[in-house]
Amino acid sequence: MKHPLHILIVLVFYLLGASLTAQESDVIKEYLERFENSKKYLLEVANAMPEEKYDYRPARESLSFAENLMHIGYAMDWHTQSLLGGRESRNWNTDTRYKVADKSKEEIINVVKETFQETIDFIKEFDITQFDEELDYFGFNRTKRQIFLLLTDHIAHHRGQITVYLRLNGQVPPRYVLFQ
């Protein structure tokens, strides 16, 4: 009589585990859908600003339009490849990928597109069993799940800034893409 009870207990735990794994997989699927929409909208915003206005900044201490785009790219790279993925961080002072320098509008947009794709590829392969692992995030303990959310918050924050930059330059921002 004990043997069937053990089998039942193992089966229940297996089914609960499979259910939780399916839910976590849904989280990644839904996150990627939202992330793709975020990418689409950011690229529309980036394309809406005339190239001659890419150096626009509303105040001396503000990032320029182009610098905001490159900062978004750098942060995507750092959050996924370095913080979550364990790769050594790019050195902001010496690495040139995310420096505006003499990059054209097209080159800047291409770097952002490439970084979005690298980030999407990373997320697709992310081991969801790591979600509850904690990392130091600027002096705060945050789970890897929270890092995913912080990444999208950061993109939305800077995208919101450059959307205002469009208005300040007489440009009409693209219509907002929902569910991002």
Judge contact between 28 and 123, C-beta under 8 A: yes
Tell me whether residue 3 is annotated as binding. Answer: no
**Distance (Å, whole) CA 119 – CA 62:** 26
Give the strand pairing for 134-137 and 140-143. Answer: antiparallel
**Distance (Å, whole) CA 167 – CA 71:** 20
Tell me whether residue 158 is annotated as binding. Answer: yes
DSSP lists the bridge partners of residue 140 as 137
21: nearest Cα among 132, 124, 129: 129
**Structure tokens given for 108:** 């800047």
Tell me whether residue 71 is annotated as binding. Answer: yes
**Distance (Å, whole) CA 141 – CA 36:** 27
DSSP lists the bridge partners of residue 143 as 134
Judge contact between 46 and 56, C-beta under 8 A: no
Residue that is written with structure tokens 């207990």 in the block: 9
Residue list for the binding site for a divalent metal cation: 71, 154, 158
Residue list for the binding site: 71, 154, 158
